[in-house]
C-alpha cells in the first residue's frame, strides 16, 4: 500500500512560557498538503467516541488492546473530513489541558536508514499519533514518553516531529529511523521554528530533565560510529540532512522567522546550521505567530508578490504561507486564568496569508457547525469560504491584500473582545455550567468570523469588478 497518500509539509513554531507575551505556552503548526485540496474539520472527541479497538488505515497496523487505555480523556481534534485515509487528528488539547500537534514531516540520512529502516509494512504515522496519544496523557512529558513507547513498539514508516505542551513545559520529539526517537524540552525563555528537516541539534544524554530518547540511542551512535563531530552530540549532524533541498525548501523559512524576531540576525536564508533553540528580543504574541505562519518573505527580494524582483527570485525559496496551508493551529495553554479556561485552540483554515485565527475554548463537548467541514464545496462553512477568498486574493495581492489587512485586524480584535469578556463572565463557573458558556462563546466567535469573512468576500467582489479583463465600456 502507498503510505505517502498525503504530503504534510508543515512549519512548526514553539514558544516557552517566559518567551510569550502573556506567560502562556504555545505550540503551533501549519498543516500543509499537496496539490489536492484536503478539507479539514474541527471536532471534540468525547470519551465514549474514542475507539476501543484500532487499526491504522494506511499501514493496516493493529494496536494491542493493552495500549488502548481505559478512561480516555476528552480532546479537541482537527481531522481530515473525508476519513478515507484515516483520521489525521492533527492537533488538540485534552481534558487535562495538555496540547499536542503531530506531525512535522522531517528528513533523515542513509546511515540511520541502513541501521533502522523506515517500515515497509505496518507501523504508525501522522494518521495515528494524536488519536493514540492525546487522550491518554496528563502532562507534556507523559506525551513524549507515550509517543516514544508507541514508536519503539510499533515502529513508523515516515520521519516526523511532534510537540506537546502543558502550563509549564513545551517538548519537541522527532522519530529517528523506524523505531528510535529523541526529544528535547524547550527552555521557558526560548522559541523554536522547525521546518521540514530533522531539527534537534545539541543533545545531552546525561540530562533526563531536559532530554529524552529511546534507551539504546547512544549505544547505536557509538557502536556504528555515527557521530561526525569531535565534541558533543548534534542529532541533526548524526541523523539528519544538509541538502540543496534543505537550503531552498526548509532553511529559508527558519531564517525569515529569526529575522522577524531579531532584525540583526546574521546569516543567509540557505544556512544549514541555524539553531534549534533560539531567543527572541521581544515577547512573542499569538499575532506574531499568525503573521509568521502566513508570511512569504515580505520586504525581501524573495517575496513571490514583489513587483521589483525577478521571476527566479520569486521562486527561489518555499514560503511559510502557501496555497497548501489547509489548517493551522496555535495551541495555547494559559497561566493567567482558571484551569477550566486555560486551553485555547486558535484555528485557521486555508492559506494563512488570507485567513483569520479563531481562539476556541477547548473545555467543551461540541464545536460550531461552520467549522465542521464537509468534503464538498459549501460556502456556509469557513474552510470553503476561506479557499475562495484566498484564490481571488492571489490574483491581485496589492488590491485584495489591503482589504484583508483591515478585515484581519478588526476581526481579530472582535474575537479577542469576546474571549476577554467570556474570561471575566465565567470566572466563577465550573463543570457543565462552564462548558455551556464556553460553547456559547465559541459559537459567537464562529458566527462573527463567518459574517466578517462573507463581508470581506463582498468587498473583494466590488473592488475587483472593474478590474476584469473581460469588459467593454464606450468611455474606455
What would the pLDDT profile of 264-296 be if each residue is shown by its tens digit? 998 999 999 999 999 999 999 999 999 999 999
Residue 431 neighbours by CB under 8 Å, 6+ apart: none
Residue 1 has pLDDT above 50, yes or no: no
CA 353 to chain centre: 15
Q: Where are the domains of the chain?
A: 11-373
Helix 382-393 crosses helix 431-465 at what angle (to 10 degrees)?
30
Q: Report pLDDT digits (tens) over 423-455.
A: 999 999 999 999 999 999 999 999 999 999 999
pLDDT at 8: 52
Mean pLDDT of all residues in 152-165: 98
The candidate with the shortest Cα–Cα distance to 210, out of 184, 235, 229, 191, is 184
Rounded distance between C-alpha atoms, residue 13 and residue 331, angstroms: 10
Q: What's the confidence (pLDDT) of residue 9?
A: 80
Tell me the average pLDDT of the chain.
96
- Read off the pLDDT of residues 328-375 as tens digits, 9 standing for 90 and up: 999 999 999 999 999 999 999 999 999 999 999 999 999 999 999 999
Q: Which of 227, 246, 186, 225 shows the shortest CA–CA distance to 13?
A: 186
Portion of the chain with pLDDT greater than 90, in percent: 96
Question: How many residues are given for the chain?
Answer: 476
For residue 474, pLDDT over 80 is answered with no
Q: What is the pLDDT of residue 3?
A: 54
Mean per-residue pLDDT, 247-256: 97
pLDDT in tens, 178-232: 999 999 999 999 999 999 999 999 999 999 999 999 999 999 999 999 999 999 9
CA distance 350 to 367: 18
Any idea which residues carry the catalytic annotation?
10
Q: What is the 3-state secondary structure (H, E, C) of 1-65?
A: CCCCCCCCCCEEEEECCCCECCCCEEEEEEEECCCCCCCECCEEECHHHCCCCCECCCCCCECCH
Q: What is the 3-state secondary structure (H, E, C) of 109-162?
A: CHHHHHHCCCCCCCCECCCCHHHHHHHHCCCHHHHHHHHHHHHHHHCECCCEEE
The answer on pLDDT for 7 being more than 70 is: no
Percent of the chain residues past pLDDT 70, beyond the cut:
98
CB of 93 within 8 A of CB of 103?
Answer: no
CA distance 211 to 468: 57
Segment 387-434, tens digit of pLDDT: 999 999 999 999 999 999 999 999 999 999 999 999 999 999 999 999
List the beta bridge partners of residue 43: 77
Domain 11-373 of CATH type 3.60.60.10: yes
pLDDT at residue 2 in the model: 47
Stated pTM of the model:
0.97
Residue 65: Cβ within 10 Å count: 10
Amino acid at each position: 500500500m502507498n503510505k505517502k497518500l498525503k504530503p504534510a509539509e508543515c512549519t512548526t513554531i514553539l514558544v516557552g512560557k517566559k518567551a510569550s507575551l502573556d506567560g502562556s505556552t504555545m505550540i503551533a503548526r501549519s498543516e500543509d498538503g499537496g496539490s489536492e485540496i484536503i478539507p479539514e474539520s474541527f471536532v471534540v472527541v468525547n470519551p465514549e467516541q474514542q475507539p476501543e479497538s484500532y487499526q491504522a488505515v494506511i499501514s493496516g497496523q493493529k494496536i494491542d488492546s493493552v495500549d488502548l487505555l481505559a478512561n480516555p480523556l476528552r480532546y479537541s481534534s482537527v481531522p481530515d473530513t473525508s476519513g478515507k485515509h484515516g483520521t489525521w487528528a492533527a492537533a488538540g488539547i485534552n481534558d487535562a489541558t495538555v496540547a499536542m500537534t503531530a506531525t512535522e514531516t522531517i528528513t533523515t540520512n542513509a546511515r540511520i536508514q541502513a541501521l533502522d529502516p523506515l517500515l515497509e509494512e505496518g507501523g504508525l504515522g501522522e494518521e495515528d499519533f494524536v488519536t493514540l496519544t492525546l487522550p491518554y496523557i496528563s502532562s507534556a512529558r507523559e506525551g513524549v514518553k507515550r509517543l516514544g513507547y508507541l514508536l519503539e513498539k510499533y515502529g513508523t514508516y515516515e520521519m516526523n516531529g511532534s510537540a506537546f505542551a502543558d502550563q509549564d513545559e513545551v517538548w519537541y520529539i522527532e522519530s529517528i529511523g523506524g523505531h528510535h526517537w529523541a526529544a528535547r524540552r524547550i527552555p521557558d525563555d526560548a522559541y523554536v521554528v522547525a521546518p521540514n528537516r530533522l531539527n534537534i541539534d545539541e543533545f545531552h544524554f546525561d540530562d533526563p530533565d531536559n532530554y529524552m530518547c529511546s534507551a539504546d540511542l547512544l549505544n547505536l551512535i557509538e557502536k556504528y560510529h555515527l557521530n561526525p563531530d569531535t565534541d558533543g552530540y548534534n542529532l541533526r549532524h548524526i541523523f539528519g540532512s544538509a541538502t540543496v533541498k534543505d537550503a531552498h525548501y526548509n532553511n529559508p523559512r527558519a531564517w525569515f522567522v529569526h529575522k522577524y524576531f531579531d532584525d540583526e540576525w546574521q546569516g543567509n536564508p540557505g544556512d544549514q546550521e541555524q539553531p534549534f533553540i533560539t531567543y527572541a528580543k521581544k515577547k512573542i504574541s499569538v499575532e506574531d505567530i499568525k503573521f509568521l505562519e502566513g508570511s512569504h518573505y515580505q520586504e525581501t527580494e524573495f517575496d513571490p508578490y514583489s513587483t521589483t524582483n525577478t521571476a527566479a527570485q520569486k521562486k527561489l525559496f518555499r514560503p511559510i504561507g502557501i496555497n497548501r496551508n489547509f489548517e493551522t493551529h496555535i495551541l495555547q495553554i494559559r497561566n493567567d486564568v482558571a484551569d477550566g479556561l486555560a486551553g485555547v485552540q486558535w484555528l485557521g483554515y486555508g492559506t494563512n496569508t488570507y485567513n483569520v485565527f479563531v481562539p476556541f475554548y477547548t473545555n467543551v463537548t461540541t464545536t460550531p457547525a461552520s467549522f465542521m467541514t464537509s468534503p464538498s464545496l459549501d460556502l456556509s462553512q469557513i474552510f470553503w469560504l476561506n479557499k475562495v477568498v484566498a484564490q481571488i486574493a492571489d490574483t491581485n495581492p496589492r488590491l485584495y491584500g489591503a482589504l484583508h489587512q483591515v478585515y484581519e485586524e478588526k476581526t481579530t480584535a472582535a474575537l479577542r473582545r469576546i474571549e476577554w469578556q467570556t474570561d471575566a463572565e465565567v470566572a466563577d463557573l465550573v463543570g457543565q455550567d462552564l462548558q455551556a458558556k464556553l460553547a456559547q462563546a465559541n459559537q459567537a466567535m464562529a458566527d462573527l468570523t463567518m459574517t466578517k469573512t462573507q463581508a470581506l468576500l463582498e468587498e473583494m467582489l466590488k473592488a475587483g469588478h472593474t478590474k476584469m479583463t473581460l469588459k467593454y465600456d464606450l468611455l474606455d
